[in-house]
A and B are shown apart, each in its own frame.
Chain A
Amino acid sequence: GQQLNQSPQSMFIQEGEDVSMNCTSSSIFNTWLWYKQEPGEGPVLLIALYKAGELTSNGRLTAQFGITRKDSFLNISASIPSDVGIYFCAGRTGTASKLTFGTGTRLQVTL
């Protein structure tokens, strides 16, 4: 199945720094989702987006649905050690009956 291109693949940042990651597709999406997965656990839904241009926050996390509908962005402000994990984007095209997942961005936070 199709996969979304997610970048960067990995990030090593210092505590307190802001983080930006994005997800791009060759297809138009009508739903974008962002998940976080910690080692040995299932992905946890962070933010869901349903409209082009939509900007939604969840605490220190902010995600945007790109106006072209082919991309989405996730920002984390003032990172802390518990932000460590893999962040996945996922999207749905048209009336598709399933989600397409990104390849993940692995985030490491150093003190």
Chain B
Amino acid sequence: DVKVTQSSRYLVKRTGEKVFLECVQDMDHENMFWYRQDPGLGLRLIYFSYDVKMKEKGDIPEGYSVSREKKERFSLILESASTNQTSMYLCASSPRARGVGEQYFGPGTRLTVT
């Protein structure tokens, strides 16, 4: 069964803190993605990776960085958290054979920055 897990369901951080969001998939997928979801704005792509150590900017990469040292793990880093980064963060993965289609999502991390 398809499984994408995220390290935390809820997270509260202070402004200026460095924040790490971890995502792990057990499906041997090549592609992994980070999105944020905000009311009225839908899902917006932050970064994606189609292979280990490879990364591409999405639509809203500012204020974020990513790391993919192993195939199964994709980390999102907020270098200095700000209140406008309060959001629901969703990780997804997809097999290369399906391009970027058939993305499977994790349960999400609801991050609050105070």
Contact = CB atoms under 8 A, between A and B. Distances in A.
B101 A31 contact: yes
Contact of B105 (A40, A44, A98, A102): A44
A3 interface: yes
Interface residues on B, range: 20 to 34
Interface in B65-114: 90, 92, 98-108, 110
A102 B72 CA distance: 28
Interface string A90-111: 1010011111011110000000
B71 to A, nearest CB: 18
Contact of A98 (B42, B100, B108): B100
A41 B56 contact: no
Interface residues on A, range: 20 to 34
A88 B99 contact: no
Interface in B33-57: 33, 42-45, 48, 50, 56
B6 to A, nearest CB: 8
A99 B100 contact: yes
18 contacts: A1-B45, A1-B59, A31-B99, A31-B101, A33-B102, A41-B107, A42-B90, A42-B107, A43-B43, A44-B105, A45-B103, A45-B104, A50-B101, A88-B43, A92-B99, A95-B99, A98-B45, A99-B101
The 9 closest A-B pairs by CB, nearest first: A42-B105, A1-B59, A31-B101, A101-B43, A42-B108, A43-B105, A42-B107, A48-B102, A42-B106
